[in-house]
Amino acid sequence: RECEEFLAPRGFAGVQVSPASENIIVDKRPWWERYQPLSYKLETRSGTEQEFADMCRRCNEVGIRIYVDVILNHMAADQYQTAIGTAGSIAEPGLKLFPAVPYSALDFHTSCEIWDWNDRFQVQNCELVGLKDLDQSNEWVIDRLVEYLDHLVE
């Protein structure tokens, strides 16, 4: 109802929403858990895939475009042994195993930390706070990312 009752009447043309992909569940539900995906299923604490589609349709009907924040660089960090996601998926981030996608260790860069923010290689290929860095030169990874983006557009 936000689009119909608040945004459109006030002249807004678009709204950015939090990542829609399944993410880890962290105690006390901090904002940053949404930036640790476990899969590309569209289910978060904001709602189900059907609720997301309904929101997009309703907003579009009153002229509001939806801009979804997407996470294409990484998956969840390894500080969690077995991680459970908002859609019920299970992953082993420390082993780089995300079966709901599915991704395995072959789909990620070799683990390394960013120590020097002026080192382009580190910034592009290493892990920020343990977030598992996807290898976007891998065709399998590219195909999964494109499928996810296509699904969001549907």
* 79 or 151, which is more confident: 151
Residue 33 has pLDDT above 90, yes or no: yes
pLDDT tens digits along 124-137: 888 888 899 999 99
Q: What is the average pLDDT score of the chain?
A: 94
Residue 80 has pLDDT above 70, yes or no: no
pLDDT tens digits along 8-29: 999 999 999 999 999 999 989 9
Q: How far is CA 125 from CA 2, 111, 112, 114, in A?
A: 39, 9, 8, 9
* Model confidence pTM above 0.85: yes
Q: What percent of the chain has pLDDT over 70?
A: 99
CATH of the domain at 41: 3.20.20.80
Positive/negative CA dihedral, 149, 125, 97, 130: negative
How many structural domains is the chain composed of?
A: 1
Confidence at residue 135, expressed as pLDDT on a 0 to 100 scale: 95
Confidence at residue 154, expressed as pLDDT on a 0 to 100 scale: 86
Is the CB of residue 77 less than 8 Å from the CB of residue 129? yes
Mean pLDDT, range 50-78, rounded to an integer: 96
Q: How many residues are present in the chain?
A: 154
Q: Is beta strand 131-133 parallel, antiparallel or unpaired with respect to 90-91?
A: unpaired
What is the domain range of residue 54? 2-153
Distance CA 134, CA 132 (A): 6
